[in-house]
Amino acid sequence: MSKTSSDRGRRALSGPTMGTRWSALFHTISAFDPAPVRSALQAAVDEVDEQMSGWKPDSDLMRLNAGPVGRWMAVPEQLMKVLGLSLEIGRASAGAFDIGMGDAVGAWASRCTLIESARMFYYTSSLRDGTGRRRNEEHRQRFCFY
């Protein structure tokens, strides 16, 4: 049987992100141009990195973490969705998953003492909605996606 432009083939796309690589595997027609899909996927991954990186000091997540307690700040809706779902998962898991563990995880990762970080780790309900703005209430808590 001859191959036609409607025959499907396996495609693999990849690109750099967050010190590693993303990859996508899918099936499509032979005449498929991967360039726009690769660009769109790279843009989506870059947007997540810009908003939610725990390593980039200028990411939206790090700005929220560094912001003064009680001050409202603009936060992208995608980040708010992830934070909101993380809080829901924390409640549903009775605290087994806790997005507020950033300081404790950081201390553990650097092999520091956990005592001070452990005292403040379970305040995940401190995120409140405002009109398009969010704030970190009650104490300095850092969110992480480790």
Residue 128 lies in a domain: yes
**pLDDT tens figures, 54-74:** 889 999 999 998 888 888 899
Note whether 32 and 71 are same-domain residues: no
Cα–Cα distance between 57 and 35 in angstroms, integer? 31
CA–CA distances in Å: residue 54 to residues 3, 28, 66, 146: 47, 35, 11, 8
Which residues pair with residue 21 across a beta bridge?
16
Least confident of 8-12, 75-79, 93-97, 133-137: 133-137
Average pLDDT, stretch 101-121? 59
Domain range for 28: 8-52
Note whether 86 and 106 are same-domain residues: yes
Note whether 40 and 12 are same-domain residues: yes
* Amino acid 122: pLDDT: 41
pTM attached to this predicted model: 0.65
Residue 1 lies in a domain: no
Which residues pair with residue 8 across a beta bridge?
29
Give the total number of structural domains in the chain: 2
Residue 13 lies in a domain: yes
pLDDT of 94 higher than 80: yes
The torsion defined by the Cα of 96, 102, 107 and 108, in degrees rounded to 10, comes to 30
* H or E element, residue 82: helix 77-92
Cα–Cα distance between 14 and 54 in angstroms, integer? 22
